[in-house]
Amino acid sequence: MSAQGNPNVSILLNRLIQLPPCPADVNRDRVVNTADILAILDAWGLCDGCLEDIDDDGKVNIDDVFAVLGAWGPCP
């Protein structure tokens, strides 16, 4: 498996390079897309401190879906 396809390497590189934050990218692949929507739907409901709670209000709901839609595409 290449480094690009390994999520652990991607997370390590993101930490080393200090990429700008991209909170709507809940799966941390540096692209806001369908995978992030699916992660939000999977975590739906009360969720204190989880990545899918983009607005950090203690629950995963439609506001988090709207945040993903508003940030759609590659992270900066």
The greatest distance separating any two alpha carbons of the chain, rounded to the nearest whole angstrom, comes to 38
44 part of a folded domain: yes
β-strand partners of 33: none
Residue by residue, pLDDT tens for the chain (76 residues) are: 444 556 666 666 656 667 789 999 999 999 999 999 999 999 999 998 899 999 999 999 999 999 999 999 999 8
Residue 2 is predicted with a pLDDT of 45
63 lies in a domain?
A: yes
Domain count along the chain: 1
The answer to whether the beta carbons of residues 57 and 66 sit under 8 Å apart is no
Please say whether the dihedral angle defined by the alpha carbons of residues 11, 12, 13 and 17, taken in this order, is positive or negative. Answer: positive
Note whether residue 10 is domain-resident: no
CA distance 34 to 72: 9
Alpha helices (H) along the chain: 7-17, 34-42, 62-70
